[in-house]
Amino acid sequence: MHRKSLAVVTQLFFAALGGRLGYSVSLPQRADGTPVMAGRIGWWRPAAAGVAVALVLLGALAAAIDNRFALPLPANAARAVLIVAGAAFIVRAVAPTRWTGFFKKIRSTRWARFDSWLYCPLFLLLGAALVAVALG
């Protein structure tokens, strides 16, 4: 696994296990700084674990397509999963929403700055990389 990908996955597992580093910029925020999903804060740790596991599985699919190991899954199915996931990451980066994406409406919060300078470029690059690997 690439070092930067490993760092992201490690941070997500750290958060899922109770770590607080980065917590304040891990959820979108309203203009007043309160988390958008304040009523779902209890789901934050399991969701972080789920995202980490999903990223590891996407990495495994990419490695399998690159013939690093065999999967009990047709290559075309693995390619389709990578294309759909890559497209979803790209859409997440560029789709205009209130709190996320390069064209977000609320830009004044700490989350928004991290989203613009870190999360969106990461989603865009990861999405493009997954599509590129899938298309070979």
How would DSSP label each residue in 89-136? HHHHHHS--SSSSTT-S--SSHHHHHIIIIIHHHHHHHHHHHHHHHH-
Mean per-residue pLDDT, 68-84? 90
Domain range summary for the chain, segments of one domain joined by +: 3-135
**What are 16-45's pLDDT values in tens digits?**
666 666 666 777 888 988 888 777 777 777
pLDDT at 57 over 70: yes
pLDDT at 121: 95
Better-scored residue on pLDDT, 43 or 133: 133
pTM of the model: 0.82
